[in-house]
Amino acid sequence: MEISEFRLTNVPGELYYVPNFISEEEEKFILDKVYAAPKPKWVQLLNRRLQHWGGSPSKNGMIVEPIPSWLQNFMDRINKLYIFEDKNVQTNHVLINEYLPGQGIMPHEDGPMFYPTIATINCGSSTVLRFEKKSSEANEDDSLSLPKTAQVFLERRSLVIVKGHLYTNYLHSIEERNSDTIDSTFYGSNKKALVFQISFGCILDPPEKVVLCKIEAILVDKSAKNDSLQLSRDEKNSN
């Protein structure tokens, strides 16, 4: 796979979007492994929970921990895409975020500890990743004329890679809502793929969960139009 073929145009910075990066069987495999993890592996936050694999980063650094083989296989696939500017850099950490319908995460940045390139696999449901320009950047005379916001529609089993200005000059978030309204202002793989996903979108009860597998490299010291559509994040029977 040549990752450059999947770069989205008219996006502030570099964003690569690969639909169907994993198969349905691989998606089920990932979810089974995530929910088979020991209960202490889950970190409970105020409104959601997550898992760290490879170590738990903090302001003081990260103590490296072994990566299980089932995750290493996916990390190896990411490494073979050569997404990092430094060819010697390899992924060494996985953050797994669980978002129930109505859950999300406020605009934030990952911080200087992370290599400025992130790869995320979306499992369980579609969702929308939102970017907004940092206030410090928005007030500067930017010769690149970067837009203030950008939104990317993430289909199930897709891979999204964020780097460049989109990583360094923008905050990213997922809004706390049960469904997303998708229209032509969103970035996506292409219109055909977007319509295909919409064709299978429906609202189901009980709701499904969204699991984002965030594959990344942590620096370790070894010392809008009218043709919109409402998409539920609850996609138990849509593939």
**Residues 21-59: tens digit of each pLDDT:** 999 999 999 989 999 999 999 999 988 888 988 888 777
At residue 22, the pLDDT reads 93
pLDDT band at 207 (very low <50, low <70, confident <90, very high): very low
Q: Which of 83-92, 136-145, 152-161 has the highest mean pLDDT?
A: 152-161
What are residue 167's phi and psi, to 5 degrees? Answer: -85, -45
Which superfamily is assigned to 3-176+209-223 in CATH? Answer: Alpha-ketoglutarate-dependent dioxygenase AlkB-like (2.60.120.590)
CA distance 57 to 34: 19
Q: What angle do CA 108, 112, 115 make, to 5 degrees?
A: 100
The number of CA neighbours under 13 Å toward the Cβ of 6 is 18
At residue 44, the pLDDT reads 93
pTM, whole model, 2 decimals? 0.79
Considering only residues 226 and 42, tell me which one the structure prediction assigns the higher pLDDT. 42
Per-residue pLDDT at 141 exceeds 50: no
At residue 210, the pLDDT reads 54
Per-residue pLDDT at 4 exceeds 70: yes
Mean pLDDT of all residues in 183-203: 35
CA distance 170 to 110: 11
At residue 231, the pLDDT reads 54
Q: 197: exposed, middle or buried (C-beta count within 10 Å: 0-12, 13-18, 19+)?
A: buried
CA distance 158 to 21: 5
- Are 155 and 193 within 8 A, CB to CB? yes
Mean pLDDT of all residues in 211-233: 52
Mean pLDDT of all residues in 142-159: 76
